[in-house]
Structure 1
Amino acid sequence: MERIMSIFIRAGWFWIGVVIFLGSTSFAEEIYTWTDESGTIHFTDSLQKIPPESRNQVETKSMGKKPPSPKPNSEGEEGDPHRPAPNRSIDAPVPPFHPQALERHEVPFQPYEGTARRVIVEVTFNGAITAPMAIDTGAPGMTIKPELAEKLGIFENDQGKLIVQAGGIGGRVPAIRTIVDRIQIGGAKGHFIPTTVTRLNTEAFEGLIGMDFLSNYSMKVDWKKKVVIFEEIPVDPEMPGGRDEQWWRALYGEFGSMRLQWQEYERFINDRLESSLVTTGPDIELMKMLKGFSAFQAQEADKLLSKLDRYANQHFVPRHWRKY
């Protein structure tokens, strides 16, 4: 599982079938299992796929229920009771707020993708890699191509990369959720950007810059001068890290719920393996593969939660914003 992201891209998107079957944020409402005459255990998400002669012995497992709410940990926070509480004090002082002079940045842009008008700017990632990106005020977050993600080392690092499905105009497609530490457009900077890695049908740019970055600036486009102007918005002391309560709650909810769901699915598969009367065969091998994949997903979600916790600690995010 260590190099699953590289395999995901380089070996023809092997996990597409697994992701489509399991879903990214919820599982099939019910999983059906039965044992044939030879003692082999089968499972499916459709009654129509079960032989008529075996339907009287079908077992049903509901997977649509929300996992039980975790108990508060030793510091009274909600979350995984086995997850160590963040190392911070309830009464940790919030640093004093000092207004800063606001900056204005003019950045040249490429105005066309073929005949279509675009605002395409050069973006530097983590101070190292620069790539053309299109500004999209309709996108909530940042999206990048797998090729750019590979240049950034996302498939090789150990900081969290969760296989999901991304929705778009053309339907749902396989994707990876991760976090990019920092980006820079001219003098405009952004930190801790939740990012979706997926295919884009264009050669003109390597991804989309959405509102996670743009919300910290007032943006104007000067088509005559071919520059986009980023004007800093005054810092709001009620928005730690430049993000409001809804943003923090949504991200904790996303990573936390996915970790719990994949943990539940791993337990379900493990129970089926332990109760099986046979230990070999294609169905057993498939279940073992799904168990390993579920464990990998839960582990990656936990890494993203840990990274989010560290960033929240740096910005003194209130504890009740971190519930999931």
Structure 2
Amino acid sequence: MKRFLLIIVLVAFACPAGAEMYRWVDEKGTVHFTDDPSTIPERYRPDAETRKGPRETTPPGARGKSTTSPLSQPPPKTSEPQGFDVPLLRSSQLMFVEVLLNGRVKRNFIVDSGASYTLIDRGTARDLGITIDEYTPFIPVATVSDVILTPLVTLKSIQVGQAEVENVDALIYTMPSEKEGLLGNSFLGKFRVVLDSVNGKMTLHPVKGSPSPDRPGGYDRDYWAGRFRFLHYNIGVLRKLKTSYERKDARTELNRVNNAIRYFENQLGDWERKASLAGVPHNWRE
């Protein structure tokens, strides 16, 4: 196995869907993940975030009794859009799904809703005709032993079964152990994900519904707030990294980070315009 593995890939390898993970950020802006809270340095523990993978269901008739009381389950939303059922392939603790990239390249990707981004390997990037140049934004990614700058690209579309999302952010990286890619929240975040390992399927319920006073643009407060929080966080991390590279006079890295800052600032501007048109309250955008 290759020496350097992406932390977000390690999360998928180490934990089955639904496992509890902890996310923390050090003083350099590096994001870390662990399933053991005792490994988090004490000064970072108060700000550590708990994260869980997609919910896994047990269908009626499955063996064993549920450990969760039915009363603790939230009532189903009657207005929720119809979901898309997608076959799953399981290998050990990993779940894979077939994806169609840009309408022409098929791959089997690991499913991991705990990963912020979708990952594609370099061979897939070549097959898609993606090139990396001086204008490509790079973002910092923590590996086992280092922090590296990784190219960020936008795929025209990703289709999983009948579910399709356009303009999906993805990171290009050499995947470990011949894995072809990872389906992360840049795609899965557009859906409520339900995994049914007994029947070997994943159901994707679109989070966008009909616009209403409490769902401007068809999205609820959590979706809008999460999107703005994500963009503000990335811009903050990149600005800190920019300062570090300026001190080191690391011109190549500085150029890549500046490209990333411009990219996320443009994204933030686009989302501000969308939010204004949809009538999203300003306190949802902080």
Normalised by the shorter chain, which TM-score bucket? 0.5 to 0.7
Q: 1:173 to 1:257 in 2, by over 3 A?
A: closer
Give the structure 2 partner of residue 16 of structure 1: none
Q: 2:181 aligns with which of 198, 201, 207?
A: 207
SS in 1 for 2:110: strand
Q: 1:145 to 1:151 in 2, by over 3 A?
A: same
- Between the two proteins, the alignment pairs up a number of residues equal to 203
Alignment of 1:23-172 (within 5 A): 26=28, 102-112=81-91, 116-156=92-132, 160-167=136-143, 170-172=144-146
SS in 2 for 1:243: helix
Q: 1:300 to 1:140 in 2, by over 3 A?
A: closer
SS in 2 for 1:302: helix
Q: 1:227 aligns with which of 201, 204, 210?
A: 201
Q: Do structure 1's residue 186 and structure 2's residue 131 form an aligned pair?
A: no
Give the alignment's Cα RMSD to 1 decimal: 3.9
Q: 1:245 aligns with which of 218, 221, 225?
A: 225
Determine if contact 1:161/1:304 at 8 Å carries over to the other structure: no
Determine if contact 2:83/2:203 at 8 Å carries over to the other structure: yes
Q: Distance in 2 between matches of 1:265 and 1:321?
A: 33
Q: TM-score, normalised by structure 2?
A: 0.55
Unaligned runs of 5+ in 1: 1-12, 14-23, 28-98, 270-286
Give the structure 2 partner of residue 309 of structure 1: 269
Q: 1:300 to 1:233 in 2, by over 3 A?
A: closer
1:183 to partner: Cα distance:
1.8
1:185 to partner: Cα distance:
0.5
SS in 2 for 1:202: helix
Q: Distance in 2 between matches of 1:173 and 1:261?
A: 11
Amino acid at match of 2:142: A
Q: TM-score, normalised by structure 1?
A: 0.49
Amino acid at match of 1:232: P
Q: Distance in 2 between matches of 1:206 and 1:301?
A: 28
Q: Distance in 1 between matches of 2:103 and 2:268?
A: 21
Determine if contact 2:125/2:172 at 8 Å carries over to the other structure: yes
1:145 to partner: Cα distance:
2.0
Which of structures 1 and 2 has the bigger CA Rg?
1
Unaligned runs of 5+ in 2: 5-25, 30-77
Identity across the alignment (%): 20
Give the structure 2 partner of residue 254 of structure 1: 234
Amino acid at match of 2:117: G
Q: 1:231 to 1:171 in 2, by over 3 A?
A: same
Q: Distance in 2 between matches of 1:318 and 1:296?
A: 34
1:120 to partner: Cα distance:
1.4
